[in-house]
Amino acid sequence: MESRTAIRVRYAETDAMGIVHHAVYPVWMELGRSDLLRELGQSYADWEKRGVMLSVAEIRVRYRAPARYDELVEVCTRLKEAGRRKVIFAYRVQREGTLLAEGESVHVVTGPDGRAHAMPEDLLRFISQAL
């Protein structure tokens, strides 16, 4: 399963050269993760209410081509791996078939206290349907 999130580049997301700033891509990736969970039938807020957090442990982005103000880009998000302690998402950001960036985010399952926890079995089954 792959979620697709359309984003219109805002002026505030660009740098002095008129190109989307590199720090914006992880924010777009977060939107993609949230949309993927919603498309599966739950929101990340639902998980938080249960005390299950996905804390970012690592994020990688490879920049391939620039995006600019007012362009329509698409963030394609998929689940790469789901385990009781770790979840990995993969992303592609594209514009009309041109790859702009690709990356991954690694998440550790934690509780509200920020300490590592095992993912509840029902949530692991739920998210694994996206594999």
Whether residue 55 contacts residue 110, with contact meaning beta carbons closer than 8 Å, is answered with yes
pLDDT bin (cut points 50, 70, 90) of residue 10 is very high
Nearest alpha carbon to residue 54 among 122, 124, 103:
124
Q: What is the pLDDT of residues 101-121, one digit of tens each?
A: 999 999 999 999 999 999 999
Please tell me the predicted confidence (pLDDT) of residue 66: 97
Q: What is the pLDDT of residues 59-73, one digit of tens each?
A: 999 999 999 999 999
Catalytic residues: 15
pLDDT bin (cut points 50, 70, 90) of residue 56 is very high
For tokens 């990736």, the residue is 29
Dmax (CA) of the chain? 48
Q: What is the mean pLDDT of residues 67-92?
A: 97
Please tell me the predicted confidence (pLDDT) of residue 108: 97
